Amino acid sequence: MVWGMINYIIRRLLMIIPTLIAITMVSFFILQVVPGDPARAMAGIEANEKDVQAIRKQLGLDKPIYLQYGIFLKHIVQGDFGQSIRSRDDVIKQIWPRFLNTLRLAVASISLSIVIGIIAGVIAATRKNSGIDYLTMGLVLVGISAPTFWMGLLLILVFSVFAGWFPAGGTGGFLSLVLPAITLAAPSAAVTARMTRSSMLEVLQMDYIKTARAKGQKEMKVVFKHALKNALMPTITIVGMQFGYLMGGAVLVETVFTWPGVGWVLVDAIFAKDYPVVQAGVIFIAASFVFVNLAVDILYSYVNPRITYD
C-alpha cells in the first residue's frame, strides 16, 4: 500500500507539470499582448534608441518568440523572475515576503472556515427543519452571495470605526489578522457548512447510526464519533478547493484591509505597468492553487480507503 501511495503521488506530480507550464505560458503572453514596447517601458521615456536596443538585446526581446519563452521558462525554473521596472529590484525579493503574508492570511482563513463551517453544518443537520437550521442555511446563502469586499468594509465599519476593537488595516500583530481572516473565511465557511450539512444528513440515515442509537449510545457520541467521521470525506475535498480559491480571492481582501500580500502587489503592479511583477504575481497565485489542489487529492486518497492507487 505504501508503494502504491508513493506511485500515485509521483504520477500526480508528473501530471501537474503540463499545467504549470501552461500557467507560465499565460503569464508570458500577458506581456506580449500588452500594447507598447516593454524595452522602452524599462528604459524610460527619455532614453535614446541605443539604450532601448541594448535593453531589448539584454532581455532577449530581439529573439523569436518561442526562444523568448524558452529563456523566460528557464529563468522561472531558476527562481529568476526578472527585475521590477519601477524599483529595479529583483522581483522575487518583492514577491516572496508578500506571498508569505498571503499564505498566512489564507491559512488563518481556512482554519476559521473549517471550524465555523463544520460546527454550523453539524448543528443544522442535527436540527433539520428547525429554526436553527433555517437560520444557519440563511446565513450560508448570505455568506455565499455577499461580495467579500463589501463584507470587509462592513466589518471595518462595525468593529474598527464604531467599536474600535480591531485595526482597519495593515499587519500590526494578531489583531490585524482577525478582520481580514473573517472576511476571507466567510464564503468558504458558508460552502463548508452547506456541504457538511448535506453529507451529515445522508450519513445520519445510515443503518449503522440507527444501530448505535439502538445500542443506547449518547447522541453526541453518535454524531461526532460515528457520523461526522464519515461525513467529512466530501467536506475535505470542498475545503481543499476553497483553500485554492482563497489564494485567488485574497486579492480583494488585501485591497480592503491594505494587507501587504501578493494580491495587493499584483493589482498595484498592473496600475504601475510593472509587468515583470504582474507575471510573477500571476504565476505565484496560480501555481499555489494547483499545488493545493494536488495536496487535497493526495490527502483525500489517503483518508478514503475505497480509493485504490491504480
Partner 1 sequence: MWLRLSRNRMAIVGLVIIALFICTALLAPYLAPYNPLKQNLLLISGGPSAKHWLGCDQVGRDIFSRIIYGTAVTFKIALTSVLMGLFLGTAIGALGGYYGGKVDAGVVFLADILLAFPGLLLAIAIVAAVGTGLGAVIIATGFSTIPQFIRVTRSVVMGEKEHNYVLAAQAIGENHRSIIVRYILPNCIAPIVVLLTLRVAAIILIASGLSFLGLGVQPPTPEWGAMLAEGRGYLQKAPHIAMFPGLAIMIVVLAFNLLGDGLRDALDPRMKI
Take residue 227 and report the three cell numbers written for it.
Answer: 457520523
Of residues 176 through 195, those in contact with partner 1 by CB under 8 A are 194-195
Residue 281: name the closest of 84, 74, 86, 108 by CA. 84
Take residue 112 and report the three cell numbers written for it.
Answer: 476559521
Of 132, 144, 272, 299, the one binding partner 1 (CB under 8 A) is 144
Q: Kindly state the smallest distance separating residue 33's Cβ from partner 1, in Å.
A: 4
Q: From 103-111, 173-181, 223-231, 245-253, give the range in contact with partner 1 by CB under 8 A.
A: 245-253
Of 60, 68, 149, 299, the one binding partner 1 (CB under 8 A) is 149
Helical packing angle, 228-256 and 148-155, nearest 10°: 80
Of 5, 10, 107, 141, the one binding partner 1 (CB under 8 A) is 141
Of residues 194 through 233, those in contact with partner 1 by CB under 8 A are 194-195, 197-198
Of 33, 45, 163, 220, the one binding partner 1 (CB under 8 A) is 33
Spatial separation of the C-alpha atoms in residues 261 and 254, rounded to whole Å: 6
Check binding of 290 to partner 1 (CB under 8 A): yes
Check binding of 256 to partner 1 (CB under 8 A): yes
Check binding of 65 to partner 1 (CB under 8 A): no
Check binding of 272 to partner 1 (CB under 8 A): no
Q: From 50-58, 84-92, 136-144, 296-304, give the range in contact with partner 1 by CB under 8 A.
A: 136-144
Count of residues near partner 1 by CB under 8 A: 49
Of residues 76 through 115, those in contact with partner 1 by CB under 8 A are none
Check binding of 154 to partner 1 (CB under 8 A): yes
In degrees to the nearest 10, what's the CA dihedral of 117, 118, 124, 127? -160
The residue ranges that bind partner 1 (CB under 8 A) are 18-19, 22-23, 26-27, 29-30, 33-35, 141-142, 144-150, 153-154, 156-157, 161, 194-195, 197-198, 244-245, 247-249, 251-252, 255-256, 266-267, 270-271, 275, 278, 282, 285-286, 289-290
